[in-house]
Structure 1
Amino acid sequence: MEKRHKFTATLLFSLCFFLLSPLQGLALDFSIPHAEMEAFLQEDGHVHVKETYTYLFDGSFNGITRELVPKEGTRISGLQASENGKALRTVEEDGLYRIYRQGADEDVTVELAYTIENGVSVYSDAAEFYWPFFDDRNESTYENLVVKIYPPSETADVIAFGYDEAFRTEQVLNDGSVLFDFGEVPAGENGDIRVAYPAELFPAAPLTADKPMKSEITQAEQELAAEEAARAETARKLSAIASVAVPLSVLLLAFIILLAILRWRLKKAAAERLVNDSFFIPEQTMSMPAVIQFTSSSVLPARLMAAGLLDLVRQGFVVKKGESFKLGSLPPTAHQHEKLLSDLLFRQVGKNGSFQFEELASYMSDSRNHSAFHISQSGWMDAIKKEISEHRLYEENKALRWTAGLMSLLLLPLLFLFPLYSLFSWFAVALAVFLASLCFAIFYRTRTFEGLKMRMEWKGMKPQFTQLSAGEWQELKSDDQMRAYIYGVGTNDKGIMEKNDQLVKSFEMPPIRYASRHGSAGDIVTLSYVGPMAFSSFHSAHQTALSSQTSGSTGFAGGGGGVGGGGGGSGAF
Structure 2
Amino acid sequence: MTRLIRTILAATLLLFLFPAAAMAVDFEITDSTIEAKMDKSGRVNVTEYHTYQFDGDFNGMTRMLVPKEDTDITGFSAFEDGQPLKTEKDGDLYKVFRGGEDEKVTVELRYVIEDSVILYEDGAEFYWPFFDDRNEADYGRMIITVAPPEPASGTEVIGYDEAAGTGTVESDGSARFDLGHVGSGENGDIRVVFDGSLFPSLNTVSGTIRNTIADERVRLAEEQEAAEARHRNAVLIGNIMLPSAGLLLLAVGWIEWKSARRKRESARLQAEENGFRAPDETISMPAAVQFTATAISAEPERLSAALLDLIRKGQVVQVTETRFEETDQVPEHKHEEIFRSILFDSFGDGTGSFDLDELKRRTEDDEEAGEYSNRVAEWMGTVAEEIKEARLREAHPGTSGLLVLTGSVLAGTAIYFGIAGALVHLAIAIPLAAGCLITAAFLRPLSDKGHLIREQWRAFTEKLDGVDLEDWQAMPREDRLRGYIYAIGTKNKHIDLPFARFAETRQASPEAPVFFGYDPLIMNRSFAVAGTHAAHSSSSSSSTSSGGGTGGGGGGSGAF
TM over 0.5: yes
Q: 1:23 & 1:532 partners in 2: Cα distance?
A: 49
| Equivalent residues in 2 for 1:404-419, closer than 5 Å | 404-419=403-418
| Equivalent residues in 2 for 1:25-424, closer than 5 Å | 26-207=23-204, 209-277=205-273, 278-298=275-295, 300-323=298-321, 324-331=323-330, 333-351=331-349, 352-424=351-423
Q: 1:26 & 1:92 partners in 2: Cα distance?
A: 19
Deviation at 1:528?
A: 5.5
Deviation at 1:25?
A: 6.0
1:568 and 2:555 aligned: yes
Which AA in structure 2 matches 1:360?
Answer: L
Which AA in structure 2 matches 1:249?
Answer: A
State whether residues 310 and 527 of structure 1, in contact with CA within 8 Å, keep that contact through their aligned partners in structure 2. no
Partner of 1:545: 534
Distance 1:142 1:279, change over 3 A: same
Which AA in structure 2 matches 1:450?
Answer: K
State whether residues 478 and 524 of structure 1, in contact with CA within 8 Å, keep that contact through their aligned partners in structure 2. no
Gaps of 5+ in 1: 1-20
Distance 1:327 1:559, change over 3 A: farther
Tell me the alpha carbon deviations over residues 541-561 of structure 1, each in whole angstroms, 9 at most, x when there is no partner: 101110122398xx9996532
State whether residues 482 and 524 of structure 1, in contact with CA within 8 Å, keep that contact through their aligned partners in structure 2. no
Q: Secondary structure at the match of 2:328?
A: coil
Partner of 1:532: 521
Q: Secondary structure at the match of 2:539?
A: coil
Q: Secondary structure at the match of 1:211?
A: coil
Tell me the alpha carbon deviations over residues 295-344 of structure 1, each in whole angstroms, 9 at most, x when there is no partner: 1133753211111111111111111113421110131x521111111111
Q: Secondary structure at the match of 2:74?
A: strand
Q: 1:22 & 1:485 partners in 2: Cα distance?
A: 56
Q: 2:337 & 2:544 partners in 1: Cα distance?
A: 50
Q: 1:528 & 1:413 partners in 2: Cα distance?
A: 63
Tell me the alpha carbon deviations over residues 141-173 of structure 1, each in whole angstroms, 9 at most, x when there is no partner: 111111111122223322112000001112222
Q: Secondary structure at the match of 1:276?
A: helix
Q: 2:543 & 2:87 partners in 1: Cα distance?
A: 31
Partner of 1:13: none
Partner of 2:8: none
C-alpha RMSD over aligned residues: 2.5
State which drifts further: 292-301 or 417-426.
292-301
Which AA in structure 2 matches 1:349?
Answer: F
Deviation at 1:394?
A: 1.0
Deviation at 1:272?
A: 2.7
Deviation at 1:435?
A: 1.1
Q: 1:551 & 1:102 partners in 2: Cα distance?
A: 44
State whether residues 311 and 513 of structure 2, in contact with CA within 8 Å, keep that contact through their aligned partners in structure 1. no
The count of aligned residue pairs is 539
Distance 1:31 1:532, change over 3 A: same
Tell me the alpha carbon deviations over residues 76-108 of structure 1, each in whole angstroms, 9 at most, x when there is no partner: 111111111121222212211112222222222
Which AA in structure 1 matches 2:138?
Answer: T
Tell me the alpha carbon deviations over residues 21-40 of structure 1, each in whole angstroms, 9 at most, x when there is no partner: 99846522221111111111
State which drifts further: 77-86 or 168-177.
168-177
State which drifts further: 21-30 or 443-452.
21-30
Deviation at 1:524?
A: 11
| Equivalent residues in 2 for 1:3-22, closer than 5 Å | none
1:430 and 2:429 aligned: yes
Q: 1:103 & 1:120 partners in 2: Cα distance?
A: 39
Distance 1:26 1:464, change over 3 A: farther
State whether residues 43 and 201 of structure 1, in contact with CA within 8 Å, keep that contact through their aligned partners in structure 2. yes
Which AA in structure 2 matches 1:415?
Answer: A
State whether residues 159 and 218 of structure 1, in contact with CA within 8 Å, keep that contact through their aligned partners in structure 2. no
Q: 1:22 & 1:393 partners in 2: Cα distance?
A: 53
Deviation at 1:519?
A: 4.0
Tell me the alpha carbon deviations over residues 104-151 of structure 1, each in whole angstroms, 9 at most, x when there is no partner: 222221111111112221111111211100000111111111111112
After superposing on structure 2, the runs of 4+ consecutive aligned residues of structure 1 that deviate more than 3 Å are: 21-26, 518-521, 523-528, 555-559
| Equivalent residues in 2 for 1:479-490, closer than 5 Å | 479-490=478-489
Q: Secondary structure at the match of 1:468?
A: coil
Q: 2:19 & 2:303 partners in 1: Cα distance?
A: 40
Q: 1:463 & 1:383 partners in 2: Cα distance?
A: 29
State which drifts further: 76-85 or 87-96.
87-96
Q: 2:544 & 2:124 partners in 1: Cα distance?
A: 38
Q: Secondary structure at the match of 1:100?
A: strand
Distance 1:243 1:338, change over 3 A: same
Gaps of 5+ in 2: 1-17
State whether residues 119 and 202 of structure 2, in contact with CA within 8 Å, keep that contact through their aligned partners in structure 1. yes
Q: 1:527 & 1:464 partners in 2: Cα distance?
A: 25
Q: Secondary structure at the match of 1:220?
A: helix
Q: 2:30 & 2:89 partners in 1: Cα distance?
A: 25
Partner of 2:6: none
Distance 1:108 1:405, change over 3 A: same
Q: 2:299 & 2:335 partners in 1: Cα distance?
A: 13
Distance 1:119 1:559, change over 3 A: closer
State which drifts further: 266-275 or 90-99.
266-275
Distance 1:43 1:558, change over 3 A: closer
Deviation at 1:253?
A: 1.6
State whether residues 44 and 206 of structure 1, in contact with CA within 8 Å, keep that contact through their aligned partners in structure 2. no
Distance 1:274 1:206, change over 3 A: same
Partner of 1:453: 452
Partner of 1:441: 440
Q: 1:399 & 1:263 partners in 2: Cα distance?
A: 16
Deviation at 1:368?
A: 2.5
Which AA in structure 2 matches 1:452?
Answer: H
Deviation at 1:433?
A: 0.5
Tell me the alpha carbon deviations over residues 369-405 of structure 1, each in whole angstroms, 9 at most, x when there is no partner: 1111111111111111111111111111211111111
Q: Secondary structure at the match of 2:237?
A: helix
State which drifts further: 66-75 or 266-275.
266-275
Q: 2:20 & 2:301 partners in 1: Cα distance?
A: 37
Q: 2:298 & 2:354 partners in 1: Cα distance?
A: 22
Which AA in structure 2 matches 1:154?
Answer: P
Which AA in structure 2 matches 1:471?
Answer: E
Which AA in structure 1 matches 2:521?
Answer: P
Q: 1:113 & 1:571 partners in 2: Cα distance?
A: 16
State whether residues 125 and 198 of structure 1, in contact with CA within 8 Å, keep that contact through their aligned partners in structure 2. yes
Q: 1:200 & 1:355 partners in 2: Cα distance?
A: 99
Partner of 1:14: none
State whether residues 268 and 452 of structure 1, in contact with CA within 8 Å, keep that contact through their aligned partners in structure 2. yes
